[in-house]
Amino acid sequence: MSQPTGTERSDDETRGPLSNWVDSAIKNPKKVYRAMFYVVVIFFLFTTLFPLYWLTMIALSNSNRVSEGVGLLPAGFDPSSFVEIFQQIPLHLYLFNSFVFATLTTIFVLIVASLAGYAFGRLEFRGKRTLLLTVLIISFFPPAAFFIPLFQLFTQQIAFLGLTPPELYSTPGGVVVPLSAIFMPLAIFILTTFYSQIPDGLEDAARIEGTTRLGALFRVIIPLSAPGVATAGILTFIAVYNEFFFSFLMTGTAAQDWAPIVDGIISYQSQFQVRYDLMAAASIVAVVPVAILVVVAQEKIVSGLTSGALKE
């Protein structure tokens, strides 16, 4: 060991691959970091994916044999549950409704929160802290605290400042409007944080070039904060798609009444005898569209537009 060059070769032959690896690792610690890194990667892949793999195995099981227990392989291979879920209810319509809610809310929240985030992040004005704190405090309340007055308003039982809005219950508005308000605080805080980190010089340069105030926001600040905007957008979209409370209570239970995926999944639990394989299959079908969205959108988050010379 004390004379490495002379003895290394014979060590290789006598001590096996593991101790060789340990030897080289001691000389080159980077190798250890790399190995540890891959162990962590595999660990996270396993913990996040295994439950979903197992759910797929339940969906592929034979409906009569599910209750025997499902392990690494399905209990009796039978993929027909993926067809049956669509025969029982129009699952695709429930999915469509959820997508409409999530898309509309995300667009609305991103526009409104961008304007607010710019004001909070880059402008000085009186009452800034108070207003920012108001935004934060709104998110302290459980959704149930908003529910009864909004439900009465949306079913036209009461008026708001003397105005009665059109009946929003069982329309996209009935879900999009409250969820926009509920998820807006998070978007405002994310965008405020990211916008405030853009150096002033870049915005000033654009203004000197003749860009309007609003133009500076949309052509300079927002593009430079692309990871932040994409993150806020994805978080909002997914949060709406996943939302439980308003989606469930502000619509009827049929797909024609704009019921979202929550109602679709629940109807497998209530309508028929307990069919775990159908519940699992419907869950997987509901997850696939969001998964595709995640694949597409995650590129945006890490596009690294703000890295390099743009940062001070």
Partner 1 sequence: MATEQRQQQQGWNPVSRVLNWMEQLSEEAYAYLLLAPAFLVLFTIALWPLWRTFRVSLFADNLFGAAKTGEFVGLQNYIEVLTNQNPLLSRPLIDLTGGTPFFRQALLVTLAFAVISVVFETLIGFGQAYIMSKEYRGRRWVRVAIILPWAIPIVIQGMLFFLLFNPSVGFLSDPLQAIGLFGSNPLTSSTNAFVIVTVADIWKTSAFMALLILAGMQSIDKSLYDVAEVAGASPWQRFRHITLPLIFPALMVAMLFRTIDAMRIYGIIEASGAGCGTVPSLSCLVVDTMFGVTQAYASAATIAFITASIIALVIGGYLVVLKLSPEGSYQ
Q: Between residues 103 and 197, which has the closer beta carbon with respect to partner 1?
A: 197
Site for partner 1 in 231-290 (CB under 8 A): 231, 234-235, 238, 241-245, 261-262, 265-266, 276, 279-280, 283, 286-287, 290
Stretch 136-195 residues interacting with partner 1 (CB under 8 A): 136-150, 153, 160, 177-178, 180-182, 184-186, 188-190, 193-194
CB of 1 to partner 1, least distance (A): 25
**Whole-angstrom distance, CA of residue 61 vs CA of residue 76:** 5
- Count of chain residues binding partner 1 (CB under 8 A): 110
Max alpha carbon distance in the chain (Å)?
A: 93
Judge contact between 94 and 221, C-beta under 8 A: no
Whether 181 and 135 have beta carbons less than 8 Å apart is answered as no
Least CB distance from residue 184 to partner 1, whole Å? 6
Residue choice 19, 157, 272, 311 for contact with partner 1 (CB under 8 A): 311
Identify the residue among 3, 10, 14, 48 touching partner 1 (CB under 8 A): 48
- Which residues between 105 and 134 bind partner 1 (CB under 8 A)? 111-113, 115-116, 118-120, 123-126, 128-129, 131-132, 134
Cα 241 from chain centre: 8
Residue 189's contacts (CB-CB under 8 Å, 6 or more residues apart) are: 135, 136
Per-residue string for binding with partner 1, 70-109, x by CB under 8 A?
xx--------------------------------------
Please list, in sequence order, all residues whose beta carbon lies within 8 angstroms of the beta carbon of residue 36, skipping any fewer than 6 positions away: none
In the region spanning residues 192 to 231, those forming contacts with partner 1, defined by CB under 8 A, are 193-194, 197, 210, 212-215, 227-228, 230-231
* Minimum gap (Å) between residue 91 Cβ and partner 1: 13
Question: Is residue 150 classed as helix, strand or coil in its secondary structure?
Answer: helix
Enumerate residues 54-73 that contact partner 1 by CB under 8 A. 54-55, 58, 66-71
Q: Could you tell me which of 117, 247, 96, 275 has the C-alpha nearest to residue 194?
A: 117
Which C-beta is closer to partner 1: that of 67 or that of 271? 67
The percent helix, strand, coil of the chain (3-state, each to 5) is 75, 0, 25
Q: Which is nearer to partner 1, 11 or 82 (CB)?
A: 82
For partner 1, the closer CB: 20 or 100: 100
The nearer residue to partner 1, 9 or 129, going by C-beta atoms, is 129
Q: Tell me the two tokens of residue 13.
A: 């032959």
Asked if 25 interacts with partner 1 (CB under 8 A), we say: no
Q: Check: CB of residue 194 under 8 Å from CB of residue 120.
A: no
Distances (CA, A) of 75 to 39, 41, 52, 59, 278: 31, 30, 16, 10, 14
Nearer to partner 1, 8 or 204 (CB): 204
Query: Which of 52, 73, 159, 205 contacts partner 1 by CB under 8 A?
Result: 52
Tell me the closest approach of the beta carbon of residue 24 to partner 1, in angstroms: 19
Contacts of 25 (CB under 8 A, 6+ apart): 31, 32, 35
3-state secondary structure of 102: helix
The one-letter amino acid code at 95 reads L
Q: How far is the CB of 93 from partner 1 (least distance, A)?
A: 16
